[in-house]
Copies of this chain bind each other. A is one copy, B any other.
Amino acid sequence: MKEMEIEQIKSLDLNDPILIEGLPGVGHIGKLAAEHLIDELDAEKLYEIYSPKLPPQVIVSKEGVAELVNLEVYAVKNDEEGRDILIVVGDHQSVENEGHYEITGQILDIAEEYGVKEIITLGGFATGEIVDEPDIYGAVNEESLVEELEDLGVKFEEGKPGGGIVGASGLLLGLGSRREIPASCLMGETSGYIVDPVGAQSILKILEQILNIEVDMQELEERADEMEDVVSKIRQKKQQAQQQQQQQQPQPTQDDLRYIG
């Protein structure tokens, strides 16, 4: 395989669809949220995208069946008379610089084919600390999009995120702007150390309002409880380490504590 290959699985007529992207990234928040939408809304697969700029790898299912790493585009038909949804998910992002541009261009080609006039990309940004109630921060490719998102509780603060947005979630805004497709990125606060179903839920609550849908969160809540156990064990270990240090070293400064905690 020398070039990207697009395999069409199914064809559907979609009504004014909005495109949601949730590829792997910080805390896997976007991936968790987008995959949860696909499961809960019984989305149907439209496309598989294969590319030699994805990792040279297969993923093995629990039955032992290997699947070539790819991106997938799903569609959700809205039962009511509302807008339909396109959802982009995948196992990996490009491992090469140029691949990000090429694959994002392909996603935008599909978006244009379906007349997409709004894109929402999902991601996380790392705070370095465990966050109990993660805020959702936003970025847009047209300033006029800010107000509506702020009304939904999305925060816009200078320096969040500081280093820009890397990968498909960022490029869909940047390249989308060059094709005049309005696009927003929702980023859930997350430690950056663990897969974060809490952050994914926070993002889905915003999406529920934007898409005018209801999403059953039970499965994500269960995964969040599991992660909670992991996190509390990590915290205990850190506190123990901290106490030992305090016994060994007379006066830890405020700085040290912040560093440990």
Q: Using a CB–CB distance below 8 Å, which chain A residues touch chain B? A: 1-2, 5, 50, 52-53, 55-60, 62-69, 94-98, 100-102, 104-105, 138-143, 146, 156, 158-159, 161, 164-167, 170-171, 173-175, 177-178, 185
Bound form: Cα–Cα A104–B50 in Å: 14
Q: Which chain B positions have C-beta within 8 A of A97?
A: 52-53, 55-56, 95-96
Q: Which chain B positions have C-beta within 8 A of A2?
A: 98, 101-102, 105
Asked whether, in the complex, the Cβ of A64 is within 8 Å of the Cβ of B170, the reply is no
A1 in complex: contacting residue of B60, B101, B173, CB < 8 Å = B101
Q: Given contacts A143-B63, A156-B64, is CB(A58)–CB(B1) below 8 Å?
A: no
Q: Which chain B positions have C-beta within 8 A of A138?
A: 64
* 12 contacts across the A-B interface (CB closer than 8 A): A2-B102, A5-B178, A55-B97, A56-B104, A56-B170, A58-B139, A58-B165, A58-B171, A60-B139, A62-B159, A65-B143, A95-B97
Shortest CB distance A255–B (Å): 12
Asked whether, in the complex, the Cβ of B68 is within 8 Å of the Cβ of A177, the reply is yes
Q: Which chain B positions have C-beta within 8 A of A68?
A: 171, 173-175, 177-178
Bound form: Cα–Cα A230–B161 in Å: 23
Bound form: Cα–Cα A55–B174 in Å: 12
Asked whether, in the complex, the Cβ of B166 is within 8 Å of the Cβ of A56, the reply is yes
Q: Which residue of B lies closest to A94 (CB)?
A: B56
